Amino acid sequence: MEKSIINKNIIIKGIGGFYYVKTADGIFETKPKGIFRNINIKPLAGDFVEIEEVNGDYVITEIHKRKNSFLRPPIANVDKVFIVISTVEPPPNYTVIDKMTAICIKKGIVPDIIITKTDLLKDDGVFGIYEKSGFSVTDINGENAYKEIIAMMKGGLSVFAGNTGVGKSTVLNRLFSHLNLETAKISRKLGRGRHTTRAVEIYDFEGGSVADTPGFSYIDTEREQPLYDDEIEHLFPEISPHIGKCRFNDCSHTSEIGCAVIEKVKSKEISESRYKSYCDIRKEAEGISRWEQND
């Protein structure tokens, strides 16, 4: 992380219309200036901002240009993403996970995978799918897992993302015991009909910062975070090396004869589950055109 950034004011949490801004003089509760609402810009955790005092209240007057930003989870200026997947309670939702990996790669971040609850169910399938696809995968119950994760987190803002109940806050509590984040059994969560972690919050540690985020079980790649049909092949690290090797130049890798990608799926070099996600995302993308979006 560049030194200049450490001294900037940063939004560490936004909840109920208030934004908590960490500055050299402490943390301030702020509201955004009305202008941001008019131009449809919502401050995000991770935003570097300018604040001013107006009649005893603090307002955000400027949001600095973002390096990147995410809608799910809502956060800006991210350096690293950990996608947390549990083997059970809840079982992996491959469509959502693979949309998330694609969105991260589109934004220039290859996410790392953390697998939890392997003590409840040791599912080598999940591990194999992501390792084979070119991601770094850590089993949280493996030897040295926490040490390895800490080493990966150094030097920037890391984000823990994933479905509700997978154990994001639990892993962070194990890494940094002073955080004391709220965690809850999934049965309780379902009963209450909401997630345990209710807002993105950024915490500093020696050598970096980390965001705990509320879980999500759905990503809309059609409207909210569009992925266009001609870019999806580039967002799957196991598919992109085969681009240009198919019989047809404009091969969509979904049904064509002589498709190099389909060959690799048949020979099991590309995971069937990832390929299914590729086809599903591609199908969703058929409904959108770049003209409709200003992404």
Q: Which CB, 169 or 273, lies closer to Mg ion? A: 169
Please state the closest distance from residue 263 (CB atom) to Zn ion, in A. 9
* Positions 190 through 209 that interact with ligand GTP (CB under 6 A): 195-197
Q: Are 167 and 140 in contact (CB under 8 A)?
A: yes
Please state the closest distance from residue 284 (CB atom) to Zn ion, in A. 19
Q: Which CB, 168 or 242, lies closer to Mg ion? A: 168
* Positions 149 through 188 that interact with ligand GTP (CB under 6 A): 164-170, 183-186
Q: Which CB, 32 or 214, lies closer to ligand GTP? A: 214
Residue with tokens 């079980």: 217
Is residue 157 near Zn ion by the rule CB under 5 A? no
Can you list the positions of beta strands (E) in 170-281? 201-205, 208-212
Binding mask 238-257 for Zn ion (x = CB under 5 A): --------x----x-x----
Please state the closest distance from residue 121 (CB atom) to ligand GTP, in A. 9
DSSP alpha helix (H) spans, 202-271: 260-266
Binding mask 72-111 for ligand GTP (x = CB under 6 A): ----------------------------------------
Q: Is 32 exposed, middle or buried (0-12, 13-18, 19+ CB in 10 A)?
A: buried
Can you list the positions of beta strands (E) in the chain? 10-15, 18-23, 26-32, 49-54, 57-63, 69-70, 75-76, 80-86, 112-116, 137-139, 157-161, 201-205, 208-212
Interface stretch with ligand GTP, choices 55-63, 115-123, 201-209, 276-284 (CB under 6 A): 115-123
Of 107, 53, 65, residue with least CA distance to 234: 107
Q: Which CB, 113 or 259, lies closer to Zn ion? A: 259
Q: Which CB, 46 or 167, lies closer to ligand GTP? A: 167
DSSP alpha helix (H) spans, 43-192: 94-106, 124-132, 145-153, 168-175, 186-192
In the structure, how many helices (H) and strands (E) does the chain have? 9, 13
Please state the closest distance from residue 203 (CB atom) to Mg ion, in A. 13
Is residue 21 near Zn ion by the rule CB under 5 A? no
Q: Are 83 and 101 in contact (CB under 8 A)?
A: yes
Please state the closest distance from residue 123 (CB atom) to Mg ion, in A. 22
The amino acid at residue 66 is R
Is residue 261 near Zn ion by the rule CB under 5 A? yes
Q: Are 11 and 44 in contact (CB under 8 A)?
A: yes
Q: How far is Cα 20 from Cα 14, in angstroms, rounded to an integer?
A: 6
Please state the closest distance from residue 116 (CB atom) to Mg ion, in A. 12
Q: Which CB, 60 or 115, lies closer to ligand GTP? A: 115
Residues in touch with Zn ion (CB under 5 A): 246, 251, 253, 259, 261
Residues that bind ligand GTP (CB under 6 A): 116-117, 119-120, 140, 164-170, 183-186, 189, 195-197, 214-215
